[in-house]
Amino acid sequence: MVRKSPQPKATSSEVLECVQQNCPSCGKPMWNEYNNLRRVRTLKGVIQLLLKIRRCQNSSCERYKIKYRPEQEGSWALPQQEFGLDVIA
């Protein structure tokens, strides 16, 4: 479904980082490849999440260049959803 009005402004923001800093496959450190912004509507307001996405830089690793998202993202909202888990519940 197409959005007919702009998404509301965020009332607060959170930075989510990966708990696991090393690659689960090869054990070498993963680099912060890029940041991703996501807005989630909750009962407390609209929260803007800054997600620190990491990737393994070891070219011989089986998880080379596969993105590793912060673990806490799942406690805010379901994937590709704009409403938080508290609103859905």
- 20-66 pLDDT, tens per residue? 999 999 999 999 999 999 999 999 999 999 999 999 999 999 999 99
Predicted confidence at residue 80, as pLDDT, reads 81
Predicted confidence at residue 4, as pLDDT, reads 86
Residue by residue, DSSP assigns 43-87 as TTEEEEEEEEEEEE--TTSTTBT-EE--TTHHHHB-TT-SBBHHH
| C-beta separation of 47 from 76 below 8 A | yes
Q: Does position 2 have pLDDT exceeding 80, yes or no?
A: no
